[in-house]
Amino acid sequence: MEWHLEKLIAPAVWYGAGFGTALMLGLRHKVTDIFLSRAGLRIHTNSDDVAFEVGGRIERIDSSARKSIRKGTDRLTLLAINKYGISVEVMFVNLMARHVLLNASHENHHTRDLDSNGAEGYIAEKTNEILESTRIWSKQFPVLTDALIEGYVCLWIKNALIPPLRKACFEKIDFYQSLLARNNVSESVKEKIKTWLAKNERYVRCIDELFECSEIKNKSYIVTQP
């Protein structure tokens, strides 16, 4: 009996090893992750597909946020038309002020800038950029003070920037959490997803800090909109 069993075991082992080798050779260009756990050996071949899925989804979320920020920016004017009229100079001042903020919406670096510079640093940066772009009209329009432009930036942040930015971060967080719950996502990809998830959770805290900033609460009312 033992002799027969050994005769059966040996071919089975060799067959299993051969099958496993053939399987690995067949998948050698597709295997992206091998993970051994108590549940057994898991071989993933779809990491590229998951990466493509992540890239497409995040781009759609960012694109939607950019569009919303642009729409909100277009509604704002630094010099209210019902107060300063529609002269060429007034139009140029409003155009240049919006141009700075529209560039920011295209670049889509808000969360990174907030994370690096903090709320007050972010406000100061945008205020200085608009001050530089409108400086040539400061004598003609003495109202173009640091306080007015800072209020304009705060109004933009409060009404045009924060709502879509916060929405985008939460959409990404929900998406990343759904990927972590899936069984067909490799462990190496999940480790990357965890870093992206943590980054967006940190961004939400930065956005909330910006919203609660005293400048946003107290200075966004300085600018009178048409």
Pick the last residue of a domain from 26, 43, 60: 43
pLDDT given for residue 44 in this prediction? 46
Band of pLDDT at residue 226, cut at 50, 70 and 90: low
Look up residue 222 and give its DSSP letter.
S
**Residue 138 and residue 196 share a domain:** yes
Angle, alpha carbons 36-42-44 (nearest 5°):
125
**Residue 38 and residue 27 share a domain:** yes
Count Cα atoms within 13 angstroms, Cβ side, for 198. 6
Tell me: pLDDT of 3 over 50. no
**Residue 133 and residue 56 share a domain:** yes
224 in any annotated domain: no
pTM for this entry:
0.74
Tell me: pLDDT of 50 over 60. yes
Is pLDDT larger for residue 35 or for residue 154?
154
What is the mean predicted confidence (pLDDT) over 187-206? 92
**Residue 81 and residue 181 share a domain:** yes
The CA-atom distances, in angstroms, between 1 and each of 5, 12, 14, 206 are 6, 17, 20, 72
Domain extent for 35: 2-43
pLDDT given for residue 109 in this prediction? 67
pLDDT tens, position by position, 72-94: 999 889 998 888 888 999 999 99
Number of domains forming the structure of the chain: 2
Mean predicted lDDT score pLDDT of the chain: 79
**Residue 145 and residue 129 share a domain:** yes
**Residue 29 and residue 64 share a domain:** no
198 in any annotated domain: yes
**Residue 126 and residue 201 share a domain:** yes
